[in-house]
A and B are shown apart, each in its own frame.
Chain A
């Protein structure tokens, strides 16, 4: 089961689009579980700290293998790395149970924004099942900053990523 938790106000229709996309991509149930307050620890002067959101948001009542996706509107602070600041549209703890996706920087049009957020949600939840970034430019697991990702609004997985996620779910059923 995938639980979508909003940490900032979202339109119900937008959350519905995200839930539908997650169900279509992974074939497991998905629901809007709760609307919680953004944790104080994640608030900084500027953008939000994604790692602190994952460690401090909640609690959300789940079973052992459930996945939680947090949705926020505010931008997430870019992470530092040896190659420079990493663009952070979302963040996931690989092979674990929590991810966050931000609607910042998505199109202003509500329908387009919902579709783009749904694709980002599919991407981040994919990391929870240990999916890596994908080569297929039509796949939602493309790096979110890449040219291919921006060109394809559909929140679909390629056959390789779909098969891999299904294998992972059989080993570790959600």
Chain B
């Protein structure tokens, strides 16, 4: 950001009645004054203020003013820098929900204008990839609400205009170059998130389905590899894809068969070998466990 943010109020004596401050997670409040109240038999001095949007009274014990994170309303230059930040290209959103939750909670408790904007922008970027869970949707709405009202107060405009100014940065106008660029980045990010590159989808789809010979004409299995012997269970597993392909034609035959044994870990190895055969590659040799020395 181009300007320094408003510092946290550490001493309540600098505040005057009628002054506007921002209370983290509550929004813009107007100072009413200091009142003495007796609560639970204990007399204490409270800094009282009224929340601007609904007139709710907020009371802070005088000794805790420094720790709650009160600050003055952002300056105009700070808000203008913030709107520039919202218009700039967003970073990739954090996909780990635990990290995201912790980061966003810290920023909201901190209550700074930039922190709230970062929460808003981060969740907006995430929402372009996937729908937000309910808790994060509420957090997004809360961050937006706080930001809209502070920007409106700081710039002396209505909340409707403040929200439109914020959203003009986040959501480009339909048909603009920024909208096209955003759509391109979203589709690229969605493909990356699905991991299509890791699956080698193109390679598998290029191999024609008829390349696999029928079971009766199947070529003999490759010569026994020097370090492993073909065993009956594995032979059955190798033939499995062909049987699966013919399944619709031989339902009765399939009923006569014994129920399939529960799959074991080897199934993954077999599947990868089949995929390699389809792709015309030799399957990787299985590693033999090293013999123990001394015998």
Contact = CB atoms under 8 A, between A and B. Distances in A.
Interface in B151-206: 155, 157-161, 163-165, 167-169, 171-174, 179, 183
Nearest to A82: B80
B158 A135 contact: no
Interface in A11-59: 51
A94 B159 contact: yes
Contacts of A83: 83, 87, 165, 168-169
A133 B158 contact: no
B122 to A, nearest CB: 12
Contact of B158 (A51, A82, A87, A149): A51
Interface residues of A, number: 28
Given A82-B79, A82-B80, A164 B141 contact: yes
A92 B162 CA distance: 12
Contacts of B272: none
Contact of B173 (A87, A127, A136): A87
B171 A145 contact: yes
A94 B164 contact: no
A149 B174 CA distance: 9
B164 A79 contact: yes
A77 interface: no
Contacts of B145: 132
Contact of B165 (A82, A145, A149): A82
B161 A86 contact: yes
Interface in A62-101: 79, 81-84, 86-88, 91-95
B53 interface: yes
B154 to A, nearest CB: 10
B66 interface: no
A145 B174 contact: yes
A164 B80 CA distance: 30
The CB with the most chain B CB atoms within 10 A, among A83, A136, A149, A164, is that of A83
Contact of B168 (A86, A132, A149, A164): A86
Nearest to B164: A86
A143 B144 contact: no
B53 A95 contact: yes
Contact of A143 (B87, B137, B158, B167): B167
Interface string A121-149: 00000010000110110000011011101
A150 B165 contact: no
B127 A135 contact: yes
B148 interface: yes
Given A132-B141, A135-B124, A160-B137, A143 B165 contact: no
Contacts of B169: 83
A164 B142 CA distance: 12
Interface string B194-234: 00000000000000000000000000000000000000000
B140 interface: yes
B132 interface: yes
Contacts of A79: 161, 164
A93 B144 CA distance: 17
Given A132-B141, A145-B173, A147-B174, A93 B83 contact: no
Nearest to A171: B54
A51 to B, nearest CB: 7
A119 to B, nearest CB: 14
B132 A135 contact: yes
Contact of B174 (A51, A81, A127, A150): A150
Contacts of B158: 51, 93-94
A81 B179 CA distance: 20
Contact of B167 (A91, A133, A136, A147): A133
B182 to A, nearest CB: 8
Contact of A94 (B140, B160, B171): B160
Contacts of B163: 132-133
Contacts of A143: 164, 167, 171
Interface of B: 53, 79-80, 83, 87, 123-124, 127, 131-132, 134, 137, 140-141, 144-145, 148, 155, 157-161, 163-165, 167-169, 171-174, 179, 183
Given A81-B83, A95-B159, 5 more contacts: A87-B164, A95-B53, A145-B168, A146-B172, A146-B174
Interface of A: 51, 79, 81-84, 86-88, 91-95, 127, 132-133, 135-136, 142-143, 145-147, 149-150, 160, 164
